[in-house]
Chains A and B, each alone.
Chain A
């Protein structure tokens, strides 16, 4: 079963990332102030897992 993802927006509001919904992946970004936003209408899936980008 694939890990669900969520979309996080940077604290500056200038970037949105799709991130694996695991505490290990989300924790550092959320601690830095990234917060969840709805999925953008059109988005390229670049999933961040354990702080490493995978295309």
Chain B
């Protein structure tokens, strides 16, 4: 018996050299607001559909595959976590700096030019409870990929005003015991909504001018919509088939935000006039910790009057357009952590 608070989570901030080779050196340990362990679900099938048994009932079971569920890492937004999430989810990453802080610039990889085709970098995930000779749980999950994320900004106090959740997938390959000694818990440099230093949507500045102080909340999300990774030769674990690749499908980038209504609100006119412009959301904590997401071309798909805690608001749904020169979005993160999404040297 063990209390769930004993669950330790760690994962590689460095990328694996390929989907089947774990990265066991560039590991960090983080807290997680998701209190569940990453379940392993081996699936058995049976012979109920086969005739010749004399009846319709199953008589034996067979090993089928590992059906690994999506696992959520939920954290307060920080420079380290945002750099990790953006790098592993979008795929084309550069890092600059020979000593801390490091600046990561990230854009979505494109299938035609990505060196690994439709596959993103892979990472390793460790979960442990009382690691050692009498471990309750000690697993190294190999070949994990970042399926989707959500960045939420709210007009509330504290760290919960800027949250980031990441949904991860894994092949089913694992090693137990992990053989990993997790480091001490990393202390990330977290942001809150008060640290927002740029907040412009389609030409409307929500930090100064007529629309200043009118921003209420925002949800931005990305989904790689991975295709199933079972194929001839994809591999096995304990006799069960596992996935051997995660290729992105039709990726989806969504942005919704809520602002207060006021006389002369520009959101409706931007919608009706089909105005497009850049959108930038930036946090600045200090010179070593900042985050900027520039959406290269945003139009408005819908602007709906609403009520938020008794204040008249507009909920705006953005349409994020691909710009032929600048692409879809560019993320820049400055953080003290080196080696994020980098290959083991």
Interface code A12-43, partner B: CB below 8 Å = 1, 0 otherwise?
A: 00000000011100111011110110000000
Among A22, A23, A26, A32, residue most surrounded by chain B Cβ atoms (within 10 Å): A23
Which B residues are in CB contact (< 8 Å) with A4? 96-98, 103
- Give chain B residues whose Cβ lies under 8 Å from the Cβ of A11: 112-113
Is the CB–CB distance between B96 and A6 below 8 Å?
Answer: yes
Across the interface, name the chain A residue whose C-beta is closest to B106. A30
> For the complex, what is the distance from the CA of A8 to the CA of B92, rounded to whole Å?
11
A23 CA to B198 CA, complexed, in Å: 15
* Distance, CA A9 to CA B98, complexed state (A): 20
Q: How far is the CB of A23 from chain B (nearest CB, A)?
A: 4
CB distance from B113 to the nearest CB of A (A): 3
Q: With contacts A30-B327, A31-B107 known, is A21 near B94, CB below 8 A?
A: yes
Taking a contact as CB atoms under 8 Å apart, the answer to whether A36 and B326 are in contact is no
Cα-based distance from A4 to B98 in the complex (angstroms) = 9
Verify B113–A32 contact, CB threshold 8 A.
Answer: yes
Contacts of B331 in A (CB 8 A): 23
Q: How far is the CA of A27 from the CA of B105 in the complex (A)?
A: 8
B119 contact set on A, CB distance < 8 A: none
Q: How far is the CA of A31 from the CA of B110 in the complex (A)?
A: 8
Most chain-A CB neighbours within 10 Å: which of B96, B103, B326, B331? B96
| Contact residues of A: prevailing secondary structure | mixed
Query: Taking A4-B103, A33-B113 as contacts, is the C-beta distance between A27 and B326 under 8 angstroms?
Result: yes
Number of interface residues of B (CB under 8 A): 26
Specify which of A26, A33, A36 is in contact with B114 (CB 8 Å cutoff): A33
Asked if B93 is at the interface of the complex by the 8 Å CB criterion, the answer is yes
Within 8 A of A (CB), among B68-106: 92-98, 103, 105
B321 to chain A, nearest CB (A): 13
Whether B173 sits at the interface, judged by CB under 8 Å, is no
Chain A residues lying within 8 Å of B98, measured Cβ to Cβ, are 4
Q: Which residues of B contact A32 (CB under 8 A)?
A: 113, 327
Q: Report if A31-B97 is in contact (Cβ < 8 Å); known contacts: A23-B105, A23-B292.
A: no
- B95 near A36: Cβ-Cβ < 8 Å: yes
Name which residue of chain B comes closest to A3, CB basis.
Answer: B96
A33 to B112, CA, bound (A): 8
A6 to B342, CA, bound (A): 14
Q: Give Cα A21 to B104, complex, Å.
A: 9
Tell whether, in the assembled complex, residue A27 and residue B327 are in contact, meaning their CB atoms are under 8 Å apart: yes
Whether the pair A30, B107 counts as a contact (CB closer than 8 A) is yes
Are the C-beta atoms of B105 and A26 separated by less than 8 Å? yes
**Lowest 4 CB-CB distances: which A-B pairs, in order?**
A33-B113, A31-B327, A21-B96, A11-B113
| B contact set with A: CB distance below 8 Å | 92-98, 103, 105, 107, 110, 112-115, 292, 294, 296, 323, 325-328, 330-332
Q: List 8 A-B contacts (CB under 8 A).
A: A4-B96, A8-B94, A23-B294, A27-B330, A31-B110, A33-B110, A35-B94, A36-B95
